[in-house]
Amino acid sequence: MSDGNWWKGAVIYQIYPRSFFDSNGDGIGDLCGITDKLEYISFLGVDAIWISPFFKSPMKDFGYDVSDYCDVDPIFGTIDDFKGLVQKAHSLGLKVIIDQVWSHTSDEHPWFIESASSTNNEKSDWYVWADPKPDGTPPNNWLPYFGGGSSWTWSSERKQYYFHQFLIEQPTLNLWNQEVRGAILNSASFWFGMGVDGFRVDATHTFLYDRDLKDNPPRPKGDLVSVDISSDNPQSYQMRLNSGQQPESIQLIEEIRSFVNRYDDRCLLGEVGGEDGMQLMADYSDVNTRFHFSYSFDLLASSLDKKSVESIIRAFEKVQDEDDWWCWSSGNHDVTRVGSRQQHKDLSKKDFALYAMALGLSLRGSFCMYQGEELGLEDVDVAYEDLQDPLGKMFYPKIKGRDGCRTPIPWVKDSLNAGFTTGENTWLPIPDSHRKKSVDQQENDKSSVLNHYRRFLAWRKNKSAMKVGDFTFIETNNHIIAFSRHDDEGCFECYFNSGNVSESVSLDSGRIIDEVSRKAVLSENSLKLDPYGYAFIEK
């Protein structure tokens, strides 16, 4: 592949900066901390890093409420710190992707403060404002992703409601307005000027709303879907067809892509959800004119059993065309860690962590791995008094929010705060169970999850069939997931036992790749896999 499509088949390491490494002892990870650990990431064998928001923010939603698109929040460092990070990443051969949150800002952003001040200022139409109904209630029935109540909040200054898809403190930008579009593209230009190689664009299905403010229709009875973290959210009773995902969003995405094409070797990774997210991903993605690739949520709630994995992939096959490219992920900063989604609880957690790794990295598409997956970390049960996530505080105790997957990385088992910080406290606790899986412990163990990751990524890196080759299912009549990855340069058959007992499949030929296979035995024409075992057969 040329450098221009480096993202195709790439492995991208997601960094949640608050929890990666703290360089100044305040208990919160920062940009210099990321820079200090880039050799670790490079040695892991990934192609790029994706850094979650580090922009200036009041941190009501931990950076996804931006108050300045073109500055670094002081808790993370400075612009110069970011420049140094990019320079070092590039020297190590790592591309740098950053989040861009273009659907909404913080209510402390100067744009919103001006917009809220009156109905006739220069930015009065930069956000979504609407008059109340005659009885004073909100203009329609739209509900937020982040829990009960209306998506509309009253402004006493403007005597109008403003729309927010998420927290009250995250007002929605009016992307129908060309001036707003120009402003976000100016911010994109700023970061490209810093050497950024691409953007992961947040919540793109919420870009545009129905301009007539029509109600969302009710969801068919008995067809509730999980919204964000819980089907308990009343938004799950609605078909979110008017509060977002308007047909004209495609034109906006093409406009953004046209702008990005002015820069060499940059990419756009779109986060796409909403109703019928798979079809929307296909609509929003086009390697030539829209998002280069789209981020899939579909494995993020899966225990990676055969039924769910095969149904997800077959559903994608129905909607994709030759110009679509996906980015798979088994975890991120918003969902339960993959290590805690194991279906067969009595089996080895390490075995499942490695099974999840090998399976995810073998699918057709690019792959985002979330920090700590390479250590086999599981979710943490954070006590109420330690909760930071507004969702956890809102829904506790039934739902504890997203803090469990956001706890700091353990670097040194027997060091203060597991080597994450020299300060007395960490912004979220580090449990003893994570200390036992610290980087220093795993680096010295050839059989560790970390070193299995390193070996697999090193093997995969130069196998074009595994990165960008075609994908064909191989039918089996048991719990083994099987498929081939193939192109003009090679063919590999991939087998994964998702069940809780040993199972076998017949093979007609091929050589097992011992360095990346596990809990697998090939004898004559039969391949036996233990539970969560996997094998790669070179044809």
Residues 6 or more apart whose CB falls under 8 angstroms from that of 457 comprise 11, 44, 45, 46, 361
Signed CA dihedral, 258, 260, 263, 265: sign only:
negative
Query: Catalytic site residue 488?
Result: no
Q: How far apart are CA 36 and CA 34, in angstroms?
A: 5
One-letter amino acid for residue 418 of the chain: A
Query: Catalytic site residue 440?
Result: no
Set 81, 99, 107, 271: catalytic member: 271
Contact 467, 9 (CB under 8 A): yes
Q: How far apart are CA 302 and CA 295, in angstroms?
A: 15
Set 202, 228, 283, 503: catalytic member: 202
Q: Does a cis peptide bond (omega within 30 degrees of 0) precede residue 58? A: no
DSSP string, 397-458: TT--TTGGG-PPPP--TTSGGGGS-SSS--SS---HHHHTT-HHHHHT-TTSHHHHHHHHHH
Beta bridge partners of 173: 127
Q: How far apart are CA 83 and CA 103, in angstroms?
A: 26
- Alpha-carbon distances, residue 378 vs 86, 338, 348, 408 (angstroms): 30, 7, 13, 12
Beta bridge partners of 161: 130, 154
Q: How far apart are CA 446 and CA 214, in angstroms?
A: 59
Q: How far apart are CA 50 and CA 41, in angstroms?
A: 12
Contact 497, 477 (CB under 8 A): no
Residue 349: count other Cβ atoms within 10 Å of its Cβ: 16
Kindly list the catalytic residues: 202, 271
